Amino acid sequence: MGKLISFTHCTMILLCLAVLAGGCIPFLNPTQPAVGPNGETVTPTLNATQRAIAVMLTETRAAPTITMTPVVTATNTPTPTATTPPLGSSDRPVAVGRRITVEGVGLTVLSAKTVDTVGKVKAAEGRAFLDLEVLIENAANGDPGSDMDYTPLYFRLQDPQGTMHQPENNAVWPALQSGTLQPGEWVRGHVTFSIPAGQAGLRLKCSPQVAPNRTANIWVALNQLAVQAAVPATGPVVTTEPLPGIGQRVEMEGTALTVSAVKASQRIEQTKAGAENVLVILDVTIENPGRVKSPFNPEYFTVKDPNGYEYPAVIIPSETILQPGSLGQGQKVSGQVVFEVPASAKQLVLEYQPQVVMEDYPVIRIQISISA
C-alpha cells in the first residue's frame, strides 16, 4: 500500500510549493553563508517553518497495518440425551393392567391382591399369599413354527432386596396351566406367591422362551398405580375350520383321540363339585397308530372356556377314571377324564398333548358342548 499523508503533511507541502514558486529555494540553492569581520563564516539557522518542511520531506512513515478480525460463528451442539429404556424392561416396568408385548409375547397382569387362603391351604404366621391373575398372548405374526409355550414356571417375584421367588404349587382357582398357544391365541389364569405380610415394592418378571437359546424378559411393577385391564376381543382359540366334535376320531402325527360321550354332574362317587361349579365327565379313547411307544395320562388333558380360563383334569378315586400308562404301536385304551368347571361354561375346547422330554407331540383339539 502507498504511504498515507495526513492533513498536516498536506499543509506543509503546499507551503513548500508556495516558497519554491516565490523563488526561494532554501535547500537546493541555499543562501551563501555570511562572512564576519575577521573572515569567519556563520551557518544560517533554519526557522521553524523550514525545519517543519525539512522533517516532512525527509521523514518516512510506514503505512498502518490492517488487522483482520475473524468473525466467530456460533455452532449449535446438540445436548446428549440418555436412551429411554424399552417399556417392560427392568428399568421401565409396566403397571398392573397394562398390556405389554415383547418379542411376540403379550402379557397383562389383570389383577394383584393378597389373600390368606388358597384352596384349603392357609398362609403361615406372618405371611400371606400374593394372587396374580395373568393373561398371556401369542402375539407372533403367524409364521410357521411360531407356536409359543407357556407355564407358571416362567414367572418370578422379585422382592426389594433383589431376591427372586418361585410361584407356589397351589394357586387360586382357576390356576394358570402349561401348554402351547398358536399365533393369535391367549390364555389366562392365576399365579400365586408366598410373601411376608405387608410386603411392598414387589416386581414380577416373566421370562418365556421365544427361541431355543433366548428368552423374553417382561417386568411388571406391582407397586405402581394399576390401570384398567382389557381382555382381547377375539376368542382364546384360533381355528381356520370348525373343530371336530363328540364321536369324531382325530389322528395327528401318530396319535389318535376320540371323545365318545360327555355329561355333567354335581357329584362323582365321593367327589363333589364346588359351589357354582359342575364336574364334566368325558369318555375318551386314545390310540397309538404310528409311534413305537406313546404314553397317556389324564394330566395331558385340559379344557378351555370362552373366557380363556383352562381347567386341568381332576384326579378322583374311581375305577372308571383313565389311569396313566403307555401304548405300543397299534394299541389303544379307554377311560373317563373329569374336569371341574363353572356351571355357566357350556362350550369348552378339549386339548390333549402328551408331555414327553425330547419328543414333540401335537395338540389335539375337540369341541365339547355341554347340554343344559
Answer yes or no: do 199 and 161 share one domain.
yes
- Measured CA to CA in angstroms, residue 302 lies from 75, 356, 357 at distances of 67, 16, 19
Answer yes or no: do 210 and 254 share one domain.
no
Q: pLDDT tens, 104-123?
A: 999 999 999 999 999 999 99
Q: Which residues of the chain have pLDDT under 50?
A: 1-5, 7, 10, 15-16, 18-21, 23-29, 31, 34
Q: Give the CATH number, domain containing residue 110.
A: 2.60.40.1240
Answer yes or no: do 103 and 172 share one domain.
yes
Answer yes or no: do 282 and 195 share one domain.
no
Asked if residue 233 belongs to a domain, the reply is no
What is the dihedral sign for C-alpha 141, 146, 149, 154?
negative
pLDDT at residue 66 in the model: 56
Asked if residue 36 belongs to a domain, the reply is no
Q: pLDDT tens, 343-369?
A: 999 999 999 999 888 888 999 999 999
Asked whether the beta carbons of 313 and 351 are under 8 A apart, the reply is no
Answer yes or no: do 268 and 310 share one domain.
yes
Asked if residue 284 belongs to a domain, the reply is yes
Residue-range definition of the domain harbouring residue 20:
1-26+49-58
- Which run of H or E residues covers position 280? strand 277-287
Asked if residue 121 belongs to a domain, the reply is yes
pLDDT at residue 213 in the model: 87
In percent, the amount of the chain with pLDDT more than 90 equals 69
pLDDT at residue 54 in the model: 58
Answer yes or no: do 362 and 322 share one domain.
yes
Answer yes or no: do 99 and 217 share one domain.
yes
Asked if residue 322 belongs to a domain, the reply is yes
Answer yes or no: do 215 and 255 share one domain.
no
Asked if residue 71 belongs to a domain, the reply is no
Q: Which three cell numbers stand for residue 87?
A: 417399556
Answer yes or no: do 130 and 195 share one domain.
yes
Instruction: Examine the fold and report which residue of 11, 37, 58 is the final residue of a domain before the chain moves on.
Output: 58
Domain count, the chain: 3
Answer yes or no: do 308 and 347 share one domain.
yes
Answer yes or no: do 103 and 11 share one domain.
no
Q: Which three cell numbers stand for residue 53?
A: 518542511
pLDDT at residue 19 in the model: 46
d(CA 51, CA 341): 129
d(CA 39, CA 37): 6
Answer yes or no: do 170 and 215 share one domain.
yes
Structure pTM?
0.76
Instruction: Examine the fold and report which residue of 179, 206, 221 is the final residue of a domain before the chain moves on.
Output: 221
